[in-house]
Amino acid sequence: MSYRQLIRPETEADLAGGFQWYEERRDGLGFEFLGEIKAVLEKITDNPLSHPELYRSARRSLVRRFPYAVVYIFESGKVEVIAAAHVKRDPEFWHRRVR
């Protein structure tokens, strides 16, 4: 079963920044990054409880090939993606995004 997905505007900005950074390194790498993000999002919406809670109700899924994590909350039958962050980034920035 695939659940409804909501991507917050802050997460869209995270993804745009990651895309731009990778695309500046090599043409097409930004698109590869977004492809890996899409694969993670599909896995999350298919099985949102497959990842443990990290902080309050937030869960994290690591992105293959790129040092990024997708952070989300699953409640009321929907997946709300609250951040897409480099794994070396201080998690405090997405902690503030958790209600």
Q: Which CATH number, 3.30.2310.20, 3.30.420.310, 3.30.465.10, 3.30.70.360, labels domain 4-95?
A: 3.30.2310.20
Q: What is the pTM of this model?
A: 0.91
3-state secondary structure of 87: coil
1: which 2 tokens? 């079963």
Q: Would you give per-residue pLDDT tens digits along the chain (99 residues)?
A: 789 999 999 999 999 999 999 999 999 999 999 999 999 999 999 999 999 899 899 999 999 999 999 999 999 999 999 999 999 988 787 778 887
pLDDT at 80: 97
pLDDT at 90: 81
Domain positions in the chain: 4-95
Q: Is 69 left (phi over 0), alpha (psi -120 to 50) or beta?
A: beta
CA–CA gap between residue 97 and residue 99 (Å, rounded) = 6
